[in-house]
Amino acid sequence: MAQSLNYLKESASQTAGPYVHIGCTPNFSGITGVYEEDLGSGPMASDKTRGERITIRGFVYDGTGTALKDAVIEIWQADTDGLYNSPSETRGTADPNFFGWARCPGDMASGEFVFETIKPGRVPFRDGRLMAPHVSFWIVARGINIGLNTRMYFSDEEAANAEDPILSRIEHRMRVPTLIGKREGDTVRFDIHLQGENETVFFDV
């Protein structure tokens, strides 16, 4: 006998809520003894890592302009030669002293996230054109059902940014600056806006 169409109903969707911190950063959440340290915490580069040391700092803002204090951010990037620390990297051997990936919860008092890394090299697009140096970001927080993906480019790479095949695809050119991290010495400031006038460009990947 055929079942009625409402026999099995879709469960309500859930946002990241507090669970992403418990699962991804238990030590940060006060749950010790599970892992010695949270996966992805700490500097991405050691003293032996080749490349220019930089610190990426920023906030994730909601539509009201309020910094979120419960966001978790992950970044991944190429090394200084534009090679990824990945088994799928076929162009050469990446710097073994560079991890290439990190995770950081926003500070629970201010919401600021901080990554200690190096400036990445240029990576080829699938058609062979070189992309400008960039860092990929993944963001989860309250109210976000599916993690958001975006990129951070560098304000001191104007020529490379101008010919980047991804940046050139953005139809509304006034939104390109939302993907540009501002260099301040060895610090790069990159704020992410989830909504509003300065909403960051997100990618469907």
**For residue 9, is pLDDT > 80?**
no
Q: What is the pTM of this model?
A: 0.89
Count of residues in the chain: 205
Segment 181-202, tens digit of pLDDT? 999 999 999 999 999 989 999 9
Nearest by Cα to 72 from 104, 38, 37 = 104
Domain ranges of the chain: 19-193
What per-residue confidence (pLDDT) applies to 3? 58
* Percentage of the residues of the chain whose pLDDT score is greater than 90: 74
For the segment 27-31, the average pLDDT, to the nearest whole number, is 89
Average pLDDT value for the chain: 91
- CATH 2.40.160.20 given to domain 19-193: no
Work out the pLDDT band at 145, boundaries 50, 70, 90.
Answer: confident
Q: Are 141 and 71 in contact (CB under 8 A)?
A: yes
- In sequence order, the 6+-apart residues with CB closer than 8 A to the CB of 168 are none
What per-residue confidence (pLDDT) applies to 4? 66
Distance between CA 61 and CA 103 in Å, rounded? 18
Q: Are 51 and 79 in contact (CB under 8 A)?
A: yes
What per-residue confidence (pLDDT) applies to 146? 86
Rounded-to-10 torsion of CA 190, 192, 198, 202: 110
Distance between CA 3 and CA 198 in Å, rounded? 49
Three-class SS of residue 87?
A: coil
Distance between CA 140 and CA 138 in Å, rounded? 7
Work out the pLDDT band at 48, boundaries 50, 70, 90.
Answer: very high
Nearest by Cα to 94 from 108, 105, 78, 106 = 78
Q: Are 100 and 85 in contact (CB under 8 A)?
A: yes
What per-residue confidence (pLDDT) applies to 191? 98
